[in-house]
């Protein structure tokens, strides 16, 4: 796989906003995020079809794919950031021109439902993208300093991302060991959806990162089991678990395993790669921006992650 890195962001660059999944629940979130980026010293262009709504989709498949293609083709645009996740990006996988993406690399950022696009871009175009905050989710309100500082440092410097956040609970090891690989993954629901599809990167030489929100332990169990049964979990070099927000059983009358018990079953007993837990990434207000496709080292002996290269070309 040939890896293609984008160019870092500079002041006065143009940021493009697209909505490849669901429409925002409040239309003012778009204008609020535009105002935020302009105050930071950037120019903003919004996709032609942004603001449209077809049920739970932010426009038809054709409209949303057109917005992706036009943003990548637009030479002025230096970064593309997604408005929000939700649902719908997976419907676009067989409609995207991946050669167009490969020939026009630029920063692409989002998380949640955007997971499917990011992993497909890596597999089919070799493009490094960024699992990080979104315009209509994080930049339309009082963004936490932790999230904001990590985002801008990642987008504007050539230095490898540093996983260092004093004052926050440290990562812990579910299985010891040391491994190197390229970071893949994202939201567990979307990653499990991609298992078996030609748009998912091969596991060999990869570190798999997973996060989730609002899924009961039995659902987490089911999705991990699906990935396990394909052999994928034991074929990656290592695993990093981010935030699993609101993923405990909320009804005390229901019999349930705890999330910790589910993780123990899958990551402490029946796996032969290092596993870290509690990375500050996912559906969290304090959210690290992570470059997907970049080499890193996972050290389960001392519960550490280290990115080994820059995520930009310049």
Q: Supply the residues annotated as catalytic.
A: 112, 211, 283
SS3 84: coil
Between CA 313 and CA 100 the distance in angstroms is 19
Between CA 150 and CA 22 the distance in angstroms is 26
Between CA 123 and CA 205 the distance in angstroms is 13
Q: Residue 307 pairs with which residues in a beta bridge? A: 296
String of DSSP letters for 264-294: IIIIIIS--S-EEE--S-SSSSS---EEET-
Cβ(218)–Cβ(224) below 8 Å = no
Cβ(227)–Cβ(206) below 8 Å = no
Q: What's the DSSP call for residue 91?
A: G
How many CB atoms neighbour CB 272 within 10 A? Answer: 8
Cβ(61)–Cβ(93) below 8 Å = no
Residue that the structure tokens 């500050």 belong to: 280
Q: Cα Rg for the chain, rounded, in angstroms? A: 19
Phi, psi of 206 (to 5 degrees): -120, 150
List the beta strands (DSSP E) in the chain.
Answer: 14-18, 43-46, 77-82, 107-110, 129-131, 172-175, 178-187, 206-213, 238-245, 275-277, 290-292, 295-299, 304-307
> Which is nearest to 115 in space by CA: 220, 205, 180, 201?
201
């Amino acid at each position: 796989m040939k890896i293609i890195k984008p160019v870092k962001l500079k002041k006065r660059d143009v940021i493009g906003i697209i909505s490849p999944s669901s429409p925002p629940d409040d239309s003012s979130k778009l204008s609020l995020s535009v105002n935020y980026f302009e105050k930071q010293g950037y120019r903003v262009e919004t996709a032609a079809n942004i603001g449209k709504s077809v049920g739970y989709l932010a426009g038809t498949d054709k409209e949303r794919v057109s917005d992706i293609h036009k943003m990548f083709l637009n030479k002025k645009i230096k970064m593309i950031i997604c408005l929000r996740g939700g649902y719908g990006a997976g419907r676009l996988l067989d409609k995207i021109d991946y050669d167009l993406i490969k020939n026009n690399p630029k920063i692409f950022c989002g998380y949640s439902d955007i997971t499917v696009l990011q992993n497909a871009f890596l597999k089919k175009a070799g493009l490094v993208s960024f699992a990080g905050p979104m315009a209509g989710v994080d930049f339309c309100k009082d963004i936490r300093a932790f999230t904001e500082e990590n985002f801008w440092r990642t987008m504007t410097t050539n230095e490898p991302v540093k996983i260092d956040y004093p004052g926050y609970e440290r990562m812990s090891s579910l299985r010891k060991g040391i491994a190197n690989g390229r970071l893949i993954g994202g939201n567990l629901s979307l990653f499990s959806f991609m298992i078996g599809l030609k748009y998912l990167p091969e596991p060999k030489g990869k570190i798999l990162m997973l996060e989730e929100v609002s899924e009961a332990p039995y659902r987490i169990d089911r999705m991990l089991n699906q990935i396990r049964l394909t052999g994928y979990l034991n074929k990656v070099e290592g695993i990093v678990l981010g935030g699993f927000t609101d993923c405990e059983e909320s009804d005390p009358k229901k019999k349930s395993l705890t999330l910790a018990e589910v993780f123990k079953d899958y990551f402490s007993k029946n796996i032969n790669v290092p596993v870290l837990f509690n990375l500050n990434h996912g559906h969290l207000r304090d959210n690290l921006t992570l470059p997907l496709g970049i080499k890193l080292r996972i050290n389960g002996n001392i519960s550490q992650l280290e990115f080994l290269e820059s995520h930009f070309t310049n």
